[in-house]
């Protein structure tokens, strides 16, 4: 009797083919939606910074001049002055905008 405890070469090739097909189908979708994910993340981050600007205003009766003021006062952490896509934020009279 022959001991058949392993996979044959054909079975392994079929598994690799299926994995390759799945990767070919999914990778373009991930890369295509990357910019949308970054812009949505930036919008959410702006809303969070706007909330911190309002908290700063409540505590200090004035709006911060920049995101560095929010960092210095502990409203934001170091490195939280840019969107996930790398664009910097600016504050003008309590309004948070993305710098172009």
Domain spans in the chain, listed from the N-terminal domain onward:
39-98
pLDDT at residue 1, as a whole number: 55
* pLDDT mean by block of 10 residues, the chain; 100 residues: 76 95 87 74 88 92 90 88 84 85
Which residue is listed with tokens 């090739």?
13
Q: If 0-12 CB within 10 Å is exposed, 13-18 middle and 19+ buried, where does residue 71 land?
A: middle
pTM of the entire predicted model = 0.62
């Amino acid at each position: 009797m022959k001991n058949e405890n392993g996979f044959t070469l054909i079975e392994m090739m079929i598994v690799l083919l299926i994995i390759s097909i799945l990767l070919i189908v999914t990778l373009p979708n991930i890369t295509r939606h990357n910019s949308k994910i970054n812009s949505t993340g930036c919008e959410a981050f702006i809303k969070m910074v706007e909330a911190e600007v309002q908290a700063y205003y409540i505590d200090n009766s004035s709006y911060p001049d920049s995101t560095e003021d929010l960092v210095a006062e502990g409203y934001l952490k170091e490195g939280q002055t840019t969107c996930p896509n790398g664009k910097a934020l600016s504050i003008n009279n309590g309004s948070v905008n993305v710098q172009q």
